[in-house]
Structure formats: C-alpha cells, structure tokens
Amino acid sequence: MENHKLIFPVEENLNQELLKYFKGERDGYVQVGPKKWFLPVKFKSLASQYKNFRVRPDDVWITGVPRSGTTVTQELVWLLCNNLDYEAAKQDLDERVRYYELDLVFNDKTTEERIMTFSGDKELERLAECIKNTLKFLDDDVKRRTIKTHLPFELLPDDILRKGCKVIYVCRNPKDVAVSYFFYEKGSWHLNFTGDFEKYWNFFKNGNCTFGPYFQHVKQAYEKKNLLNVLLVFYEDLRKDPRAYIRQIADFLNKQLDKKEIDKLENHLGFENFKKNPAVSKALRDVDNNEVDFIRKGKVGGWTEYFTKKINNEANEWINENIRHIGIKWPK
C-alpha cells in the first residue's frame, strides 16, 4: 500500500484552531496514511518527490523527531564521512548536510512576505534558494551525501533500506523534545507558534505537531533497529557519555578513531563549543526578527521547569503506555 498517497485534510475545527496558533502555517495541515502523519498541506504536492527520490547506496541519512539531537549528530556524521576535515567543516552545516524536506516546512506565503519585508537579506535569499532546490542540489552532489530528514521511514524512499544506505535515528525523551520543540516553533518566524506550553503539549501529545505522532515515529525506527544498516541512538547517551556516542556512530560507519581524534571530536561537539560555532549554530529569527537560540540548553530532564503536575501525570501515563506497547528501552 502506498501510504504516502493517502492524504486527508485535518478535521476542520482542529485545522482552524491550529491555524490560529501556528501563525506561520497559512494553508493548514493534512494527515497521511493510517498512522496519521501530521504535516503541512504542502505535503500533497511533495509526497511523490520525497518517496521517489533517487538514493545512492553510500548515502548516510540522519533522522529523528525534530529537537532530538539531530544537528549535533549531523556534524559528527559529516566529519566522520569527510576525514575529520575541520577546515571544510567551517562551511555552514546546512550546506554540507542538506535538510531533505526543507521545502515542506516553509509555507510559501509566509516565506514570500518575509523576503519582501527583509529584502536584500543575503541569508534569507540563500534560504529561499535552498527551499526550492534542495532535492536538485542533492541530485547534483558528486560527493558522498549526508542527508538530514525528520520524515518517518514510511514516507521516505523505500530504496533507503533496500539499497543499504546507512540510517542513524536519534531518539530523545518526549518530555524534553516537547519543550525544545515548543521553544523552536515559538521562536521561528516561519512557524510562529503563539500559544503557551500547555497548549503546545496538547498538540504534541495528540500527534498534532509537524512530523508527529511522536510515538509512531519512534516505533517505526525501533522496529528497524536490528537491521544492519540502521542505528538507533539516544540523545541521553550523548549527554551522559559523548565519547561512547561518538564511538558507536564511528563503528557503525566503519571509521577507526584513535584517542586524539575522539578527544578532538568530543571537544568540537561539546555543547558550549557547538553553541559558539557559527557554522552549526545559526541564530533563529522570530517573527519580529529577534535572535533566538537554536542550540538552546542541551539538558536532559530540562522539562521539569515547564511541566505542571497535571501535564506530568498525563505525560507519564501516555509515555508508559507507549513504551510498553513499543517495547522500547530508554537509557537509564
């Protein structure tokens, strides 16, 4: 069954409510297939391109729900695939590891208006070019490709698994993901979420945030974790033992690292250095053009500052039920 073609509009009252809160999305949302993947309406015109893209057996894909630690993992993977070339890594990470469905997450009307308001902004002009051309840039790339995506497995080309591309799926505690995603969607002009955390949490938990439902996304990856070309990693492990995280991914990519190389990677990827690195940590701009941190706090358990008792009880019930169902074991 071709689930990527089973695209339904979100129920009208919910759609109106979402449009009220997510001011950057002007056209509304759809749900895709029996899992009800929640995506902007634009997916209708992009689904086939995303499904039929020509993959190469040596591609490396980095994926996971947004805000799970994909960016830092992208940088690690790119360095491992490019002979630890720190000089070349001074180029923007966005240009080195392309974001597969960039086009999907930028609403056309919102982007056009932004470009008119900030005409002459070079960064914005480059972004607009990438939005329209990411798949072409990937097609034209003559080097080994490292690609980032947040789409669930089901909506990606089947050849990714058939042709033996390597896939690294980053997983993070949903409570921390929800908080991080809230700040990201609030602070990005193209998403512009205008509600409070409680409102956001309800959308997130019910699978009504872009790339949701969270546990369906994780489940599709967890079911594939024993495939030779799939590696499931946890953000919590990165924070607890970055050297083991680096080694785990290097082993998966068949890269030998000596102690000095691991030292240098650990230092380069360390939260404070990473935050200061202009190639990976571009400031987000909110709707009023204020700078917002993309690399925010990097904490495990940071959710405690934002969850009320009520949200936490509800979250625990939801998480426990899903963990039991999926059989996933979270790092201690």
Binding footprint of ligand A3P on the chain (CB under 6 A) = 66-72, 176, 180, 183, 269, 271, 274, 295-299, 302
Q: Are 10 and 31 in contact (CB under 8 A)?
A: yes
CB of 297 to ligand A3P, least distance (A): 4
Q: Which of 33/298 has CB closer to ligand A3P?
A: 298
Q: Which residue blocks in the chain are alpha helix, DSSP H?
A: 12-21, 43-52, 70-81, 93-96, 102-105, 108-117, 122-140, 159-162, 174-187, 197-205, 214-222, 235-240, 242-252, 259-269, 271-276, 309-326
Q: Which of 182/203 has CB closer to ligand A3P?
A: 182
From 150, 190, 217, 268, the catalytic residue: 150
CB of 251 to ligand A3P, least distance (A): 20
User: Which residue has 């999907």 as its token pair?
Assistant: 104
Q: Tell me the two tokens of residue 118.
A: 């900030």
Radius of gyration of the chain from its Cα atoms, rounded to whole angstroms: 19
Q: Which of 183/197 has CB closer to ligand A3P?
A: 183
- Cis amide linkage into residue 152, ω under 30° from 0: no
CB of 92 to ligand A3P, least distance (A): 15
Q: Are 143 and 35 in contact (CB under 8 A)?
A: no
Q: Which of 70/192 has CB closer to ligand A3P?
A: 70
Question: 258 vs 69, 263, 265, CA distance in Å?
Answer: 24, 9, 11
217 among known catalytic residues: no
Beta-carbon contacts of 263 under 8 Å, excluding residues fewer than 6 positions away, are none
Residue 69: closest CA among 166, 151, 217, 177:
177
Q: Tell me the two tokens of residue 328.
A: 């996933």
CB of 183 to ligand A3P, least distance (A): 6
CB of 62 to ligand A3P, least distance (A): 9
Q: Which of 211/215 has CB closer to ligand A3P?
A: 211
Q: Which of 148/166 has CB closer to ligand A3P?
A: 148
Q: Are 14 and 36 in contact (CB under 8 A)?
A: no
CB of 1 to ligand A3P, least distance (A): 30
Q: Tell me the two tokens of residue 10.
A: 């979100």
Catalytic residues, which ones?
A: 150
